[in-house]
Amino acid sequence: MRTDRMDDTLIDVPRGLTNVVAAETVLGDVRGHEGFYHYRQYSAIDLASRRTFEESWHLLLFGWLPSAEELDAFRVRIARARDIPAPVADLLPSIAALTRGADALAGVRIALAALAAHDRIRPLYDEDEDARIVDAIRVSAVTPVLLATLHALAGGREPLRSRADLGHVANYLYLVTGEVPDAQREHAVSAYMTAAIDHGFNASTFTARVIASTGADLAAAVVGALGSLSGPLHGGAPSRALDTLDEIGTPDRIDAWVTETLLTGGRVMGFGHAVYRTEDPRSRMLRGIAENIGGPRVEFAVTVEGRVLELLAELKPGRELHTNVEFYAAIVMEACGIPREMFTPTFAAARVVGWGAHILEQSREGKIVRPSSRYIGPAAPVPLPD
C-alpha cells in the first residue's frame, strides 16, 4: 500500500488498483465474498442457466430483457451484422499466415482494425447514441465470425459461412467445429459464454473503458481490450487447466503432482481468483453442465478438483483458494468440440459484448480517464553534467 497526496488529500494507492473505485456503472457488479455477480438487476448465473445469450446481450445493451418480438428482431439484427466484407475477407488468409496460424486473438486485432477502416467506424466522440449502438452490435456480432474464420484458415480449411437460421452461439459453434450443435451442446456453450459476458472492472474491461474515454472509435477500444487477453493472467487459463489434467494423467498421480507443484512455488491452474473468496459461482454452474454431459474426462476432472481442494487446504492453510471458472470452462468447451487453441478466443467472443456495453457507458461520461502516478526515482532536478 502506498500513500500519495493530491490537493492536500491523502489517497491510498494499492498495488494493481485493487478495490479502487474508478467509475460508476449500472451494468453489473461482482460481490466476491458472497460468490455472486449480476448483470444489471439479474443474477448472471440465472441468466446463463435459463436465458439465451442474445437476451443477456439485449439486457446489457438496452437495459431490459426483450419481449419475444424484440428478441426475434434483435436476432435478425445480429445475424445481419455478422457479415465480413469482401475486402476484409481477402485479407484474412494473409493475417492468419502472419500470426502463424494458431493465434486467432492476434489475428482478430488486425482484422477488426481493417473492418473499422472499411466500415468507416467513426470516433465515439463524433457519434450519437444510436450510431454507437450500431457499432457495438456490429463489432460484437462479427468478432466471433472473424475468430472462427482465422482458425479455419490457420488449419488449412475453407472457412464456413454464417447461417442466419442459427442463433449467435450455435452459429459460432458451427463455424468452429463444422457441425450444427445439438441442443445440449448449444446450451452448454451458451451458458458459459453468457456467464463470461461481463465480470466487473477486470483488466480488459478497464482497458476498453480507458480507450473509450479518449473518444476513440469503438473498434479501437475493443482491439485494446483484446490485447489485454494476450497475457495469461487474464482469460488464458482454460487451456492451461486442461494441460494440468493431461500432466496429472491418472488419479493415482494427483497427490504427488499437486504437492510437488505447490511446494516448488508453482500454480495449479483453474484454482484461486482475484475477487472470489468463496466458490466461483460460474464454476459451480459449469460443473453441473459438465456432469450432465458426462464421460471419463468429466469424472477425472471432478476427482482432481476434490483432491486439489483438500491439498490446498492442507498445504496453504488460511488461504481461500477455490475452483475458478477456467477449470470447468475447459471441460465444457472440450466436450462440445471446441479445440484447445480456441478456448480463450471463445471467451473473447463472449466478453466483446460486455466490452461494448461498457464502452457505450463510458462514452456517455464525456471525461477522459487520466490518473496520476507517484514518482519514486532519483530526486529532481539534478544539474546536467558538463
Annotate 137-157 with b (16+ C-beta within 10 A) or e (fewer).
bbbbbbbbbbbbbbbbbbeee
Alpha carbons within 13 angstroms on the beta-carbon side of residue 379 total 1
**CATH topology assigned to domain 44-230+340-365:** Citrate Synthase; domain 1 (1.10.580)
Q: Which residues are catalytic?
A: 273, 326
pLDDT on residue 51: 98
Compute the distance between CA of residue 221 and CA of residue 207 in angstroms, rounded to an integer.
7
Residue 253: DSSP 8-state: G
pLDDT on residue 302: 93
In order along its 386 residues, the chain shows pLDDT tens digits of: 444 444 546 566 777 777 778 889 999 999 988 889 999 999 999 999 999 999 999 999 999 999 999 999 999 999 999 999 999 999 999 999 998 756 899 999 999 999 999 999 999 999 999 999 999 999 999 999 999 999 999 999 999 999 999 999 999 999 999 999 999 999 999 999 999 999 999 999 999 999 999 999 999 999 999 999 888 777 666 778 888 899 999 999 999 999 998 888 887 887 877 676 677 899 999 999 999 999 999 999 999 999 988 888 888 887 777 888 888 999 999 999 999 999 999 999 999 999 999 999 999 998 999 988 888 899 999 999 98
Say how many C-beta atoms besides its own lie within 10 A of residue 123's C-beta: 13
Rounded to the nearest 5 degrees, what angle is found at the Cα of 29, between the Cα atoms of 25 and 34? 155
Q: Residue 218, class by beta-carbon neighbours within 10 Å (0-12 exposed, 13-18 middle, 19+ buried)?
A: buried
- What is the sign of the dihedral through the CA atoms of 342, 346, 349 and 352? negative
- What is the sign of the dihedral through the CA atoms of 370, 375, 377 and 383? positive
3-class secondary-structure state, position 202: coil
Helices 168-177, 183-195: axis angle to 10 degrees equals 110
3-class secondary-structure state, position 251: helix
Grid cell at residue 204? 480488459
Q: What is the DSSP string of 14-75?
A: -GGGTT------SSEEEETTTTEEEETTEEHHHHHHHS-HHHHHHHHHHSSPPPHHHHHHHH
pLDDT on residue 101: 58
3-class secondary-structure state, position 13: strand
pLDDT on residue 375: 84
Residue 11: in which H helix or E strand, if any?
strand 9-13
Rounded to the nearest 5 degrees, what angle is found at the Cα of 59, between the Cα atoms of 44 and 218? 105
Cβ(107)–Cβ(150) below 8 Å: yes
Q: Where do the structural domains in the chain lie, given as residue ranges?
A: 44-230+340-365, 237-335
Helices 53-62, 183-195: axis angle to 10 degrees equals 30
Residue 383: DSSP 8-state: P
| Residue in 243, 270, 236, 207 with CA at minimum distance from that of residue 104 | 236
Cβ(60)–Cβ(353) below 8 Å: yes
pLDDT on residue 2: 44
pLDDT on residue 10: 52
Compute the distance between CA of residue 159 and CA of residue 140 in angstroms, rounded to an integer.
19
List all residues 6 or more positions away from 275 whose beta carbon is below 8 Å from its beta carbon: 30, 32, 200
3-class secondary-structure state, position 10: strand
Q: Where are the alpha helices (DSSP H) in the chain?
A: 44-50, 53-62, 68-80, 86-98, 104-119, 129-154, 168-177, 183-195, 203-213, 218-228, 237-248, 254-263, 281-293, 296-315, 325-335, 343-365
- In order of 70, 257, 369, 373, the CA distances from 376 in angstroms are 55, 42, 22, 9
Grid cell at residue 381? 532536478
The correct CATH number of 237-335 out of 1.10.230.10, 3.40.640.10, 3.30.70.3420, 3.40.50.700 is: 1.10.230.10
